[in-house]
Amino acid sequence: MKRRLIASSILMMLGAYAHAADISPAASHEITLSGQIDGHVNDSLGRAIAAATVALQTAEGKTLASTQTDAQGHFVFSHLATGMYALVATKKDFQTGTDIVNLMSAASKDSTITLSSIKALEIDVVAKKLDRARNGIAVDTGSSNYHISSQDIAALPQGAATPVNQVLLQAPGVAQDSYGQLHIRGDHGNVQYRINDIIIPESISGFGQSLDTRFASSINLLTGALPAQYGYRTAGVVDIHTKSGAFEDGGRIGTTIGSNDTRELSGEVSGHKGDFSYYLNASSLSNNLGIENPTASRDAIHDATSQHKEFGYFSYLLSDSSRLSLILGNADSKFQIPNTAGLTQNYTYTGVPSYPSENLNENQHETTRYGILALQGTLGDAFDYQVAAFSRYSKVLFAPDVIGDLIYNGVASQVLRTSQAYGVQADGSYRINDQHTLRSGVFVSQEHLDNNNDVQAFTLDGGGNPTTTLTSFSDINSKVANLDGVYVQDEWKATDKLTVNYGVRFDQVDAYVTGSQLSPRLGAVYQIAPSTTLHAGYARYFTPPPNELISGQTIALSQGTTAAPPGTQNDAVQPESTDYYDIGLSHKVTPEFTIGVDSYYKHVTNLLDEGQFGAALLYTPFNYAEGKIYGAELTGNYHKDNFSAYFNIAHSVALGKNIVSAQYNFAADELAYIANNWVHLDHDQTITASVGSAYRWRGTKYSADAVYGSGLRSGFANTSSLPAYVQVNVAAARSFDTTVLGKIEGRVSVLNLFDSSYEIRDGSGIGVGAPQYGPRRAVLLSLDKFF
């Protein structure tokens, strides 16, 4: 109340002056009505406050209009006369905030109002303190860190509905592949996902994205020479920091409809009561383009999908220095495997003279569930810690079209793979003095793997020709895989400008193979000038094979049938060992514009790669005896007022030589060539680029982005490459006040604006299955109601 009286007094005095100058709102109303006030309402920590009421008042305190802020805390008043105005923002559990705006011309004027919390000041301060402590455990000295904020996500054409893999395509050195795969700096997969700095054991690879961008408050992508605390999957570390209910009560419900019969319903809710806070998120999606179309046609045949995801974050403050948090997640997805019409039948099935390929009915069902219970806090002013127990269950079931698969492929396989993983991760940070911070941690996990493959095939006669006689067999195996690691590292602030992080980690794996390695790490950051930073690092990596993908196939069972693979040699898949060198420079050209350049080189022993070799759309790992990967990246970011933009361009070369495991998947001539020649990896893409921008104008946010790829490899032993492609996406988003629903946000997104038809894969190359084409133009309409 006191603030309102002060604001009214100021306005009355300024209003009197404006009246004398004849520029008050009333006096100038007949002159111009083209002024605009464009503003944001934030809390004391700078975060947007949604659904806050903002009143527009005259110098005399008369309310002219009122509105509510959108999900980004944005509001706008348009068609205003020149003069003096007061903006008064209110919301439950917050103190009233006021801003005085002198609208001297028809131009737009910016306003920012900060509201201080009344109800949750204590939990706000404690939660922020613990977040800082958790961030102090994780460091990136010497590595490349690409930060994607909630504002960056909101600026994408699909906003927070953008799949995680599509969000990461905005980062440098990230190449897209079919089935939602990503390749970072020339690696196949090898991506580690973390939620609030806690490792999530990888699920069995497939098409589904088990993580939802909507629950992310920010996403960090770390690449390069990583500090010792990061192990196992090291091509890129994707660390998602989640939203929480510690700072506001509210929620959202939304729907999306559009091309390919897309229908999605999603919602989220957050809140707090005393020391307890929560955040819940759920979505249900269905469309007719679940997997990339194997043809260039606009509509895919037999390609429906239904995907359901749920996520929950719960936190309880045990004291002002510790909290207990629980994270729960679930993803359940069903996919039809798309068909190609007019294929030639290759085998004869008795009693079925004709079976059109467009009628095939193959399906895949994927499930991933995970849970994390974490205790995190501080002891005194020097020690921060986080101890987390985790569990993850993953299942993939491929159901064949038995008759159709036998007629076209000569084999029909029902594949069921399940994986249950448990583990503990503990990390600690101790500030010895102003120069040294010691960090250490341990990771222990156990994974129970079950692989079931029920196969039907035709027998071969004495000459190796297929008969019409069917045979069947089951290939069933189980395995317990153990993975352990420990690290210690010191962050040394050698001078005001130089910080050095040096450490070592030891890892061992006991699964289909056993192995261990001691891995030194060294990284440094040097502040050349206030606006220029140099980083460099070396890391030795130990990468165990993805156990959940190893089938343990018994080659002998398939001999004498059409299910037999090209070869019989099956040496065990080995862990990968890498020497990684990275150096980069970032420079702030202006306070708004930053550019960066980075280069890297990797020499690899037992380079891990993956290929699709069976009928099921699952990947199988194998090793090249030697590999070398190198490249360079250029990136830029610009943010000012209502405009933001970014660009990334990267050059990469990824080569391997001599396949030394799982050789049965390859033809003899291909093996012989690769044994004596350096070959491009199938996911090697020489040039990748991404660019995007967003601009808020008169209350509407316009956004656009584009990705470019020079083409993945193809042909015998990857000696060719596919044509280059560009995909452009655009969108417009705006908040509206409606009589029935109140304030809603609408978004229109156009994906692949120019309807470009491009091929991601053509079905040829090392370990490549069917062709896949990028999506054709699609129009999506989204409506979100915030409360």
Lowest mean pLDDT, pick from 47-61, 254-268, 404-418: 47-61
The alpha carbon dihedral of 558, 560, 561, 562 has a sign of positive
Residue with tokens 């990334």: 648
User: Could you state, in order of their start, the residue ranges of all structural domains in the chain?
Assistant: 2-115, 133-786
pLDDT digits (tens, 9 = 90+) for 257-277: 999 999 999 999 998 888 898
Give Rg (Cα) of the chain.
29
Instruction: Identify whether the C-beta of residue 621 lies closer than 8 Å to the C-beta of residue 662.
Output: yes
Strand partners, 451: 417, 477
What letter represents residue 89's amino acid? A
CB burial readout 762-776, b (16+ within 10 A) else e: beebbbbbbbbbbbb
Residues 6+ apart with CB under 8 A from 96: 1, 3, 4, 88, 89, 90, 115
Instruction: Identify whether the C-beta of residue 730 lies closer than 8 Å to the C-beta of residue 157.
Output: yes
Helices first, then strands: H and E counts in the chain: 8, 41
Residue with tokens 């708004």: 592
Residues 6+ apart with CB under 8 A from 617: 179, 206, 207, 291, 337, 364, 398, 769
Structure tokens at 125: 């301060």
DSSP string of 13-56, one letter each residue = HHHHHHHHTT-SHHHHTTT---EEEEEEEEETTS-B-TT-EEEE
Which is it for strands 174-176 and 236-242: parallel, antiparallel or unpaired? unpaired
Q: How high is the pLDDT of residue 299?
A: 93
What is the dotted CATH code of the domain comprising 2-115?
2.60.40.10
Give the rounded percent of residues in the chain with a pLDDT score beyond 70: 90
What phi and psi values does residue 166 have, to the nearest 5 degrees?
-70, -35
Given a cut of 70, whether residue 122 has pLDDT beyond it is: no
Q: How high is the pLDDT of residue 124?
A: 54
CA atoms of 473 and 455, how far apart (whole Å): 5
Residues 6+ apart with CB under 8 A from 171: 146, 148, 221, 648, 690
What letter represents residue 236's amino acid? G
Q: How high is the pLDDT of residue 126?
A: 58
pLDDT digits (tens, 9 = 90+) for 654-686: 999 999 999 999 999 999 999 999 999 999 999
Q: Tell me how far apart the terminal alpha carbons of the chain are, to the nearest angstrom.
A: 25
Structure tokens at 742: 């109140």
Structure tokens at 346: 């290759």
Q: How high is the pLDDT of residue 129?
A: 57
Q: How high is the pLDDT of residue 692?
A: 95
Lowest mean pLDDT, pick from 193-207, 429-443, 497-511: 193-207
pLDDT digits (tens, 9 = 90+) for 184-194: 999 988 888 88
Instruction: Identify whether the C-beta of residue 684 lies closer than 8 Å to the C-beta of residue 652.
Output: yes
Residue with tokens 């133009």: 777
Compute the average pLDDT of residues 728-749. 89
Which of the 8 DSSP states describes residue 3? Answer: H
Evaluate if pTM is beyond 0.85. Answer: no
What phi and psi values does residue 654 have, to the nearest 5 degrees?
-130, 120
Given a cut of 60, whether residue 27 has pLDDT beyond it is: no
Compute the average pLDDT of residues 495-501. 94
Instruction: Identify whether the C-beta of residue 682 lies closer than 8 Å to the C-beta of residue 675.
Output: no
pLDDT digits (tens, 9 = 90+) for 344-385: 999 999 999 999 999 999 999 999 999 999 999 898 888 999
Assign domain 133-786 to a CATH class: mainly beta
Compute the average pLDDT of residues 421-435. 93
Comparing CA positions, the residue from 220, 173, 226 lying closest to residue 195 is 220
